[in-house]
Amino acid sequence: TQCNYFAPLVFPQRVDAGLRVARLGTSSVRYEVGLFREGDDAAAAQGHFVHVYVDRVTRRPVTLPDALRAALEPLGVASNAAAD
């Protein structure tokens, strides 16, 4: 988990939030988050976190279910390899 802060956001200010999937692995997802003052193009804060999916009993990583992968793929970032 990591976050960089660039500008204050204060109540009752409205905030726009953006979420994308930066990496969709076999058992993990890296999400990136951006927080913006309403209508602003520059982020007030941006960061990321990694969610590893684990089996409740063994506490070992498990493969992402197909339905979850299908739901997350549209939120993904296009691969830079295609641009090279």
What stretches of 1-84 show up as alpha helix (H) in DSSP? 66-72
Considering the domain boundaries, does residue 52 fall inside one?
A: yes
Query: What is the domain count for the chain?
Result: 1
Considering the domain boundaries, does residue 84 fall inside one?
A: no
Considering the domain boundaries, does residue 54 fall inside one?
A: yes
**Exposed/middle/buried for 81, CB within 10 Å: 0-12, 13-18, 19+?**
exposed
Work out the pLDDT band at 77, boundaries 50, 70, 90: confident
Considering the domain boundaries, does residue 82 fall inside one?
A: no
Q: What angle do CA 10, 14, 20 make, to 5 degrees?
A: 105
24: tokens are 């969709």
Considering the domain boundaries, does residue 83 fall inside one?
A: no
For residue 53, the domain's CATH number is: 3.10.129.10
Q: Which domain holds residue 28?
A: 2-75
Helices and strands: H and E segment counts in the chain: 1, 4
Work out the pLDDT band at 82, boundaries 50, 70, 90: very low
Considering the domain boundaries, does residue 32 fall inside one?
A: yes
Work out the pLDDT band at 78, boundaries 50, 70, 90: low
Q: Is the pLDDT of residue 18 over 60?
A: yes
Considering the domain boundaries, does residue 81 fall inside one?
A: no
